[in-house]
Every structure is written in structure tokens, then in C-alpha cells.
Amino acid sequence: MQDSVWAAVQTSDFDVGTLYTWLRGDSSCATDGAIVTFTGVVRDSNAQASLRGIELEHYSEMTLPALRQLAATAQSRFSLGRVVVLHRIGVLATHEQIVFVGATSPHRQAAFDGAQFLMDRLKSDIPLWKKELHSNGDEQWVMAKTRDSKAAQRWDSESQT
């Protein structure tokens, strides 16, 4: 399983085509019929203000091990083939890519569930914090959303059934 996970925290941008090609693998591998990807992009406004970008802080010693652990958990829970979890840090302008997750599986539902699980848990468990940089020069830490903690919790309750 060693090279079936691609986990990374980086300041540099990423190329979705390259990540997808890695997820797909080549014909020498057993083929997973389903590949799901999610990419998050910096929005140009929130409910109140126009934004020029965001700044992402993280807990550097913890982030990568936590992403690897998350990928391994998803892989075993949803019987995924390959998994990518990649997050950028630092200052990102509007429209830049922030985060990518990808999951492959023989069946599409597992690939969709795996990718959603990765995103939901990433938003509840990985030590990353977003500060919005407003167009007028203001800065504001983003507050965690109840919606996101509920999204993460649904995987707790489903695991008990």
C-alpha cells in the first residue's frame, strides 16, 4: 500500500491533470473503474465582502502526518485503491487552487463516499486555518461552520450502524 497514497502540504500550486494521471495508474496495475476528485478554489467573495485572497496557516509538524493518517483511514474504510490528499498553505489569491482530494475504487459509490469523507474529515481534523484577505485591506480569521462539523459527524454515526 506504500505508494497508493499521495499526501502533501505545499506552498506551490498543483496540476489536476498530473494528480488524475497518478490516480488512474497505468495498465500494469489492477484497474479501479471509478475515480472521483474534488478540488477547492479560493472564492472571490464571502457573504459580506469582496476578497483578494486567503492566507492559510498550519501546524507544520502535525499536518502531513495527520493527512497521511486520514488517507489511510479512508482507504481502509471504503476499500479505496489510490488516494490523494493535498493541501496548499500560505497566501493564495482569488481563483487559486487550495486543496485536492482523489479516490479510486472498483465501484463509484465507494469512490464518491471516500472523497466526501476525506473532505469532511479534512475540514474537521487537519490543523489548517484560513484567514480571509478582504479587498479593502481588512483581514479576518474564518470561523468554523456548523455545517462542516455536521458533515464530519455524519461519518461517526454511519460507522455505528
Residues forming contacts to another protein in the complex (CB under 8 A) are 40, 56-59, 61-62, 65-66, 87, 98-99, 108, 119, 122-131, 141-144, 148-149
H or E element, residue 71: helix 60-78
Query: Closest Cα partner for 118 from 106, 107, 110, 129?
Result: 110
Which of 2, 27, 159, 161 touches a copy of itself by CB under 8 A?
27
Task: Find the farthest-apart pair of alpha carbons in the chain and give their distance in angstroms, rounded.
Answer: 53
Q: Which is nearer to a copy of itself, 19 or 67 (CB)?
A: 19
Distances (CA, A) of 99 to 7, 48, 65, 158: 11, 23, 16, 25
Query: Closest Cα partner for 147 from 126, 127, 119?
Result: 119
Q: Which is nearer to a copy of itself, 21 or 76 (CB)?
A: 21
Residue 126 interacts, among a copy of itself, another protein, none and using kind-specific CB cut-offs from 5 to 8 Å, with another protein
Chain positions contacting a copy of itself, by CB under 8 A: 15-18, 20-21, 24, 26-27, 30-44, 94-95, 97, 106, 108-109, 111-112, 115-116, 119, 151
